[in-house]
Structure 1
Amino acid sequence: MRTYRLVAGLVTAIVAAGLSAGAPAIGADPTAALDYTIDVDSGGTGPAIDPDMYGVFFEDINRAADGGLYAELVQNRSFEYLPVDNGSYTGLTAWSAVSSAGGSGTAATVDDDARLNERNRTYLKLTLSNTGAGAYGVQNAGYNTGVALEKGKRYDFSVWARTDAAGGTPLTVSLRDQAGTTTYATAVRVSVRGDTWRRYTGTFVATGTTDAARLTVQAGGAGTLRLDMVSLFPRDTFKGRPNGLRKDLAEKIAALRPGFVRFPGGCIVNTGSMYGYDAASGYQRARAYQWKDTVGPVEERATNANFWGYNQSYGLGYYEYFQFAEDVGAKAVPVVPALVTGCGQNRAVDDEALLQRHIQDTLDLIEFATGPATSTWGAKRAAMGHPEPFGLDRLEVGNEENLPDAFMARFVKFRDAIKAEYPDITIISNSGPDDMGATFDRAWELNRANGVEMVDEHYYNSPDWFLQNNRRYDSYDRSGAKVWLGEFASQENKLYNALAEGAYLTGLERNADVVTMASYAPLLANIDYVQWRPDMIWFDNDQSWGSASYEVQKLFMTNVGDRVVPSTFSGATRTPEPVTGAVGLSTWRTAARYDDVLVTSADGTQLFHDDFSAGADRWTPIAGRGAWSVVDGGYVQSDTAAENTMVEAGDENWRDYDLDVKATKLSGAEGFLVGFGVKDTGNYYWWNLGGWNNTQGAVEKAVNGGKTTLIAKPNTIETGRAYDIKVQIRGTKVTLLLDGQVWGSFDDNAVTEPFAQVVTRDVAAGQLIVKVVNAQATPARTTINLGAGVRVANKAQLTVISGDPEELNTRTAQLIKPRTSTIKGVAPTFTRTFEPYSVTFIRVQTK
């Protein structure tokens, strides 16, 4: 993609200069265009598209909930950030002591018999020793740069408190800057009375706009004041709901018009302990997500350690998820744990009583969503404010399990129990964490054998993978399980990534009889708390913006159509490229020793040999990490914390060669990474032996930094044992030998096809929707044949997203966005030149 910047920059410049969207070829000489033809069978009937095909996947990753979609402005409001969750936490994380007018006291977090309740155990204890007008208390830092306020808007404050002061304790609550010199609202004053917990409330009207305020709570007098659940909410939440959602983020999600909302995750669903709250031993932390922890009054909900390294309050819980799905007109699709952990933990819980408890919890969840207000769990829903059922017609059990046999044994028990009471609910299984490999194959084998209705596939790959696999689902069994592509993204947020994803969506739509649901992931990312990228919507504490992928996904999600219209295209084609490049050595959180590196051509000519007797001057670091040195005649990488320590040697033009190397694991978490076809730090192949915490081997291909798995199988590397590793490359074919035995092979003959199209019909509008992606630097001059006998209007609506393929939307500039115009000259056969690096939708009115 680096070579594309000049051409695409010219595209952006010409568009900015005001050229019409109807111009034959923006930013390029039309005579240089590649020629394509799209033939549409307008009278034909393709597969119907599920009206809920496109949806969103919400997981509390990247601070997507607390500090994100959940509108609460106070961080660690219940003082439950504890070292057991995160080594850097204390009960006062995000809080600091403050005083005024000579006030004094001490602040400490406590878990004792005076706690608010059994699920909200830690509270703030202020021991006050003020005299006169002195006041002492704490202030909260909020998220990102602070508490965000907008002038003229209302903010609701609440706190649970108790005091042992006979005359009560005066409490002053203010919004001010960190130094305390500027205030942003008139202070709220309450009097705390009595030594039992009560909730106190007040409202602020902001007198200024800032993203760096602090909520300050100070008490006067003497005695012991206890505080818990210190909360500040904007009154203006999405749909005006109390305990609601941040409006700008919720509105961006709603603008996608999602057909479903998958929640609450992801890895947070099936990691940690599967056991729940135990009243005898106290509140258990770091457990898998359990929906009953998340409903009822917010002060009685559990707080839990999040798999992604921070704490989640569960203020955004199952009731709020269902309410949000209803508010945006989407189906709710919850995910429940199956007692097989995933996301690298890979263990099955063998406890039949616990399994039955989780199955019953799932049945109770369905009752919570669908039961009448007179039922046990329907009554709990009604008490929270929703007497009528939410509705639920599909539910997923499990997420990305790497132990398919153990998972399926438990899945079947869940499914059979649910179907016995709710036969119309679709129970969704999964195929593991990747698009291929031993786990994927075994999972699909078990899904087919057990008559599973729908299988959730997940994969995150390079953009080229998406451009190479448009026909992935063409060969799937039309009578078998339906596919839900529940998590997918290419590995960046640039326009090129968005176009690759858009091209892939044309293949999903063409196979709408197989792929009935799809959702990009992850949905949200707080720019200051990122565990994973790419992401669809980015935000800080007062701004939000859609990525390039958001804009492309939105275009597809809001222009789906009801049915696929059969179509084909022809034109410029590409051929597979041979594997070429230098060789490399690397490690991942492992110390390893390499020796006797030999490269020979297919005819036996020696191209390179290094036994490190003369040092390692022929090797060049390209990753910039690790501690490489020659030790006892071998090349050793000794840093067991460093990830990807790649060094390379040889010629980037090498092809058709054999690579031999001896490798020994010295210590650490994994095994070896032997590179071939190495071009630079972002473009290479490597054979990963003992990867994924020494459980799996794989060959991964990196293209511009995004990796795709080409082959994978279980594999373990022993510490201290020397291995003979050989890689044989012939054209596009690669054979891998470990200690003289063939370990695996693959043929990297996939063609990156930058041109993709699909046509759908919008029955109500009487329109054909022609969708074309041109993910290349050359314009695509295209003849569009809509079919014999079709009658169309002369004008059509055109929507284009295009630009520099390296461009991405940021907090300060969102350059990637759609342009909509009207074009003329539409006929049963007409020509359109599609811009370089563009996705184009043409809505053609039929007569």
Structure 2
Amino acid sequence: MPENKTRLVGLAALLVTLPLAIAPPVSAAAVEPDYTIALSPKADGPALAKSQYGVFFEDINYAADGGLYAELVRNRSFEFNATDAGGYTGLTAWTTTGTATVVNDAQRLNDRNRNYLKLTGTVTNAGYNTGIAVKKGEKYDFSVWARAGGSAPLQVTLQTAAGVTLAAPVEVSPTGDAWTKYTGTLKATATSDQGRLTVGSAAPVSLDEISLFPRDTYKGRANGLREDLADKIAALKPGFVRFPGGCLVNTGSMYPYDAANNYPRARSYQWKDTVGPVETRATNKNFWGYNQSYGLGYYEYFQFSEDIGAMPLPVLPALVTGCGQNRATNDPALLQQHVQDALDLIEFANGPVTSTWGKVRASMGHPKPFGLTTVAVGNEENLPEEYWANFLQFQAAIKAAHPEIALVSNSGPDDQGSTFDNLWAKNKANGTDLVDEHYYNSPAWFLQNNARYDSYDRSGPKVFLGEYASLDAKFANSLAEAAYMTGLERNADVVKMASYAPLLANIDNVQWKPDMIWFDNDESWGSTSYQMQKLFMTNVGDRVVPSTVTGGGVITPKPITGAIGLSTWRTAATYDDVTVTRPDGSTIFADDFNDGNADGWTAVQPRGTWTAASGGYAQTDTVSEDTMVKAATVTDTDYDYTLKATKQAGAEGFLVAFGIQETGNFYWWNLGGWNNTQGAVEKGVTSAKEQLLTKPNTVNTGQTYNLKIQVRGTKVTLFLDGAEWASFDDNAVTEPFAQVVTSDAKTGELIVKVVNAQDKPAVTKIDLGGRKVAPTAKATVLAGDPGEQNTRTAEPILPVTSTIHGVASTFTRKFPANSVTFLRIRTR
């Protein structure tokens, strides 16, 4: 770490929690409790498996290359191109002197590694972020594939951007005209996060796969993982690792690599592309807007899962795209090829070394089977009929050959809606092993839905909550997630696995947030949700002790008021005759744009091209996303918002907003969303959105639609061309206090887990159901300002652990405002 970087180590958390952590329990006679937690005398709740909590890894936010994958050279094989991202070339991240040309011809290294560099002079790589990070005294392994065109050796140097030497130069001497791998070791003589790797030759030479790895990868693995990031993941003690995605899995072309056809870029993630020697793995466009080298591939995922004691859980494409693409591949032969790929994957993971794919695993250094038990098929598909037809074919083939393998289906991209209901009904009728649910919602949603799984069918398919998070990165979000997790544990007989998502984010390359672990090229830090997840994941217990909570209160919702808005998403549209009226017909706001201006409208963000002309208000840019403009702050709790909308061109339809607040919160009616396949009502929360309802919907270009949004307090009814389209009532109450109790048979402890997500302490009577317990217990507390975030320079939210006294069969304790407390109480 550079000397000029410093960190505050949880001082704020310490100051907030320490006095409470060491104080004795509150006297029950002195203070009337706000809440009472009462335990059942028996620990007869559902069992908690080691796989209760795990991690979900996806190569988003540069989580693999430049992240968990320890390779320090960016674009090491010169394969970047404009398909990956605008402006990318074979020399992205490289600078050259002399003559340097990226070539793709018959002299290439192999059919999958197609580009190489012809060089006379030098080529310098800038690495990721600010540069290549090295630490004084550490060793770094250099390698390159080369063909010599002359007799001059290769000079390999490591310097800062300013030319300061970071390691003694290394020299390698390519000989002959055949591609050969050459290696060397660089030992850092200084610490820097701004290194540059330079390779130079005075004679013509061909180069490919230029690589630099820290010797100290996680567990010392060759082609290994960045140690600090892997350590942080391992410290969670996850029960499973779900990989490789996410949207990465089921987007792009489903056709495999085809050397004769120059192979399709933007292929879906196909596991066979990612195994074998790294120089034979074809790179690919990443769905999230960059290139992926596949240096971190299926073998490395399996190896990492084994290294941290977690169950591997691979996700395979079902030939139905999701994540806004919504296409199904109608090619029976291709479907059968992917089904066979799934069978081959099981053989790769579990087969004997004499089998075709077991032999490949053994050749990579792991003759012992990995012990794969569970496979997921598909991810967030929004075409339920097409997905289900394909899933059944995967299921039939896998169960016939491997009845021991559990299969994970899914329920679409959200926590409710027509796709969700449709797929859940199909999975129940089918008796599917597990169903994957995904949702990203507001903190309020998580505090309102603690009982979500209380009513799930105990005899139906089990739930794998594969992706969830509260929509921001503040401690308030983590508190809401913690409250929700108490409900996951209470329903452990239904929710068998859960993983927060996404896992990793490079601070300089972010496509999605919130994220659990953040990093740059030499540092990493856990978000407040990382600390929360770690607290739960390392204190699971093995059985739920039934308990009840009484007392306290709830937070009731407010009526939907605020500005109205208009927006588009990669679509040109015209709006007209915008009015807001009261139920008695009186007008709050009206604009027919006949005067040729839109003076009452302001941009929420400067996006798109809005023009008032020809009696309408038009947004004409078909590229920009979220072009919202707003007007008329409505303070009435009952009103009708009407308008006319016409799509002119583009990918989607209309976004009609209401209840817009200065805090960034709003609602919008989304018609023709998801590439003109779905309609929805979405609730905006700061920088993200949760879906309140969804249903199939298409918008026709050139057709004018009459839209009406009827607001009555918290209830909203939507009308499309005079007919009711849908309705919802955002009236759920928020419960800021949550708890669950589990037992740990190995230690003989009760684990009392209490979440107090409100701005006042909660005096709580705890009745342990007549159990005899030790008079002291270990308390671990996360507490602080709900607006706090953990950052590169300060981590105010860290756990504080202490010993508390006065514990008894019944005792009273004050839980701090905005806190999560775990009490480990020894039974006697």
- Normalising by the residue count of structure 2, what TM-score does the alignment of the two structures yield? 0.95
Check the 8 A contact 2:13/2:782 in 1, yes or no: no
Match of 1:671 among 646, 653, 670: 653
Check the 8 A contact 2:781/2:801 in 1, yes or no: yes
Deviation at 1:704, TM superposition (A): 4.1
Structure 2 counterpart of 1:151: 136
Deviation at 1:359, TM superposition (A): 1.3
Q: Output the CA distance in 2 between the equivalents of 1:703 and 1:170.
A: 58
Q: Is 1:470 the counterpart of 2:450 in the alignment?
A: yes
Structure 2 counterpart of 1:593: 574
Structure 1 counterpart of 2:100: 107
Q: Is 1:59 the counterpart of 2:58 in the alignment?
A: yes
Q: Is 1:37 the counterpart of 2:56 in the alignment?
A: no
Match of 1:793 among 768, 774, 786: 774
Q: Output the CA distance in 2 between the equivalents of 1:335 and 1:705.
A: 28
Structure 1 counterpart of 2:79: 80
Match of 1:759 among 737, 741, 747: 741
Structure 2 counterpart of 1:132: none
Deviation at 1:810, TM superposition (A): 0.9
Deviation at 1:17, TM superposition (A): 9.7
Check the 8 A contact 2:61/2:511 in 1, yes or no: yes
Deviation at 1:324, TM superposition (A): 0.3
Deviation at 1:781, TM superposition (A): 1.4
What percentage of residue pairs aligned between the two structures are identical? 66
Q: Output the CA distance in 1 between the equivalents of 2:587 and 2:415.
A: 37
Deviations 1:543-577 (CA, angstroms, capped at 9, x unpaired): 00011110000000000010111111122222343
The residue type equivalent to 1:728 in the other structure is: Q
The residue type equivalent to 1:66 in the other structure is: D
The 5-angstrom pairing of residues 258-297 of structure 1 reads 258-297=238-277
Deviation at 1:461, TM superposition (A): 1.1
The 5-angstrom pairing of residues 397-436 of structure 1 reads 397-436=377-416
- Specify the SS of the correspondent of 1:159: strand
Match of 1:632 among 596, 609, 614: 614
The residue type equivalent to 1:213 in the other structure is: G
Structure 1 counterpart of 2:559: 578
Deviations 1:415-444 (CA, angstroms, capped at 9, x unpaired): 111111111110110111111111111111
Structure 1 counterpart of 2:720: 738
Check the 8 A contact 2:13/2:800 in 1, yes or no: no
Deviations 1:589-642 (CA, angstroms, capped at 9, x unpaired): 333332222222234443333333454333344444444343233333334333
Q: Is 1:22 the counterpart of 2:5 in the alignment?
A: no
Check the 8 A contact 1:147/1:214 in 2, yes or no: yes
Q: Output the CA distance in 2 between the equivalents of 1:728 and 1:396.
A: 42
Q: Output the CA distance in 2 between the equivalents of 1:233 and 1:56.
A: 25
Structure 1 counterpart of 2:593: 612
- Specify the SS of the correspondent of 2:259: coil
Q: Output the CA distance in 2 between the equivalents of 1:514 and 1:671.
A: 38
Q: Output the CA distance in 2 between the equivalents of 1:721 and 1:340.
A: 30
Q: Output the CA distance in 2 between the equivalents of 1:672 and 1:292.
A: 41
Q: Output the CA distance in 1 between the equivalents of 2:607 and 2:23.
A: 49
Deviation at 1:669, TM superposition (A): 2.6
Check the 8 A contact 1:622/1:680 in 2, yes or no: no
Deviation at 1:51, TM superposition (A): 1.7
The residue type equivalent to 1:638 in the other structure is: T
Q: Output the CA distance in 2 between the equivalents of 1:84 and 1:44.
A: 57
Check the 8 A contact 1:33/1:778 in 2, yes or no: no
Q: Output the CA distance in 2 between the equivalents of 1:591 and 1:289.
A: 33
* Unpaired stretches in structure 1, ≥5 consecutive residues: 1-10, 99-104, 129-135
Check the 8 A contact 1:782/1:832 in 2, yes or no: yes
Quick one: structure 1 residues 427 and 621, their matched pair in 2 at CA, closer, same or farther if it must change by over 3 Å?
same
Match of 1:529 among 509, 533, 546: 509
- Specify the SS of the correspondent of 2:661: strand
- Specify the SS of the correspondent of 2:648: strand
Quick one: structure 1 residues 724 and 24, their matched pair in 2 at CA, closer, same or farther if it must change by over 3 Å?
farther
Structure 1 counterpart of 2:199: 217
Check the 8 A contact 1:405/1:446 in 2, yes or no: no
Deviations 1:762-799 (CA, angstroms, capped at 9, x unpaired): 11111111111111112111111111x21111111111
Q: Output the CA distance in 1 between the equivalents of 2:48 and 2:233.
A: 21
Quick one: structure 1 residues 365 and 111, their matched pair in 2 at CA, closer, same or farther if it must change by over 3 Å?
same
The residue type equivalent to 2:66 in the other structure is: G
Match of 1:809 among 790, 795, 813: 790
Q: Output the CA distance in 1 between the equivalents of 2:148 and 2:631.
A: 71
Deviation at 1:651, TM superposition (A): 4.1
Deviation at 1:457, TM superposition (A): 0.6
Match of 1:442 among 422, 447, 451: 422
The residue type equivalent to 2:161 in the other structure is: Q
Check the 8 A contact 1:464/1:703 in 2, yes or no: no
Quick one: structure 1 residues 171 and 619, their matched pair in 2 at CA, closer, same or farther if it must change by over 3 Å?
closer
Q: Is 1:339 the counterpart of 2:289 in the alignment?
A: no
Check the 8 A contact 2:112/2:259 in 1, yes or no: no
Q: Output the CA distance in 1 between the equivalents of 2:764 and 2:537.
A: 24
Q: Output the CA distance in 2 between the equivalents of 1:584 and 1:287.
A: 38
The residue type equivalent to 1:252 in the other structure is: K
Q: Is 1:461 the counterpart of 2:460 in the alignment?
A: no
Q: Output the CA distance in 1 between the equivalents of 2:374 and 2:466.
A: 13
Q: Output the CA distance in 2 between the equivalents of 1:738 and 1:654.
A: 23
Deviation at 1:321, TM superposition (A): 0.7
Q: Output the CA distance in 2 between the equivalents of 1:13 and 1:177.
A: 37
Check the 8 A contact 2:133/2:195 in 1, yes or no: yes
Deviation at 1:22, TM superposition (A): 3.5
Q: Output the CA distance in 2 between the equivalents of 1:374 and 1:206.
A: 43
Deviation at 1:360, TM superposition (A): 1.3
Q: Output the CA distance in 2 between the equivalents of 1:326 and 1:363.
A: 21
Structure 2 counterpart of 1:374: 354
Q: Output the CA distance in 1 between the equivalents of 2:290 and 2:366.
A: 31
Q: Output the CA distance in 1 between the equivalents of 2:21 and 2:358.
A: 53
Q: Output the CA distance in 2 between the equivalents of 1:338 and 1:726.
A: 38
Quick one: structure 1 residues 515 and 14, their matched pair in 2 at CA, closer, same or farther if it must change by over 3 Å?
closer
Deviation at 1:202, TM superposition (A): 0.6
Structure 2 counterpart of 1:173: 156
Deviations 1:234-284 (CA, angstroms, capped at 9, x unpaired): 000100111110000000000000000011111111111111122332333
Structure 2 counterpart of 1:101: none
Q: Output the CA distance in 2 between the equivalents of 1:535 and 1:339.
A: 28
Deviation at 1:301, TM superposition (A): 1.5
Structure 2 counterpart of 1:232: 212
- Specify the SS of the correspondent of 2:19: coil
Check the 8 A contact 1:175/1:187 in 2, yes or no: yes
Q: Output the CA distance in 2 between the equivalents of 1:705 and 1:314.
A: 31
The residue type equivalent to 1:349 in the other structure is: T
Check the 8 A contact 2:33/2:765 in 1, yes or no: no
- Normalising by the residue count of structure 1, what TM-score does the alignment of the two structures yield? 0.93
Check the 8 A contact 2:25/2:811 in 1, yes or no: no
Deviation at 1:733, TM superposition (A): 1.8
CA-based RMSD of the aligned residues comes to 2.1
Q: Output the CA distance in 2 between the equivalents of 1:389 and 1:784.
A: 48
Structure 2 counterpart of 1:843: 824
Q: Is 1:325 the counterpart of 2:311 in the alignment?
A: no
The residue type equivalent to 1:157 in the other structure is: F
Quick one: structure 1 residues 647 and 528, their matched pair in 2 at CA, closer, same or farther if it must change by over 3 Å?
same
Q: Output the CA distance in 2 between the equivalents of 1:704 and 1:322.
A: 37
Q: Output the CA distance in 1 between the equivalents of 2:496 and 2:520.
A: 33
Structure 1 counterpart of 2:91: 92
Check the 8 A contact 1:652/1:679 in 2, yes or no: no
The residue type equivalent to 2:664 in the other structure is: G
Check the 8 A contact 1:233/1:243 in 2, yes or no: yes
Structure 1 counterpart of 2:637: 655
Structure 2 counterpart of 1:383: 363
Q: Output the CA distance in 2 between the equivalents of 1:331 and 1:452.
A: 20
Check the 8 A contact 2:13/2:797 in 1, yes or no: no
The residue type equivalent to 1:737 in the other structure is: F
Deviation at 1:287, TM superposition (A): 1.1
Check the 8 A contact 1:152/1:206 in 2, yes or no: yes
The residue type equivalent to 1:600 in the other structure is: T
Q: Output the CA distance in 1 between the equivalents of 2:800 and 2:34.
A: 24
Quick one: structure 1 residues 636 and 24, their matched pair in 2 at CA, closer, same or farther if it must change by over 3 Å?
farther
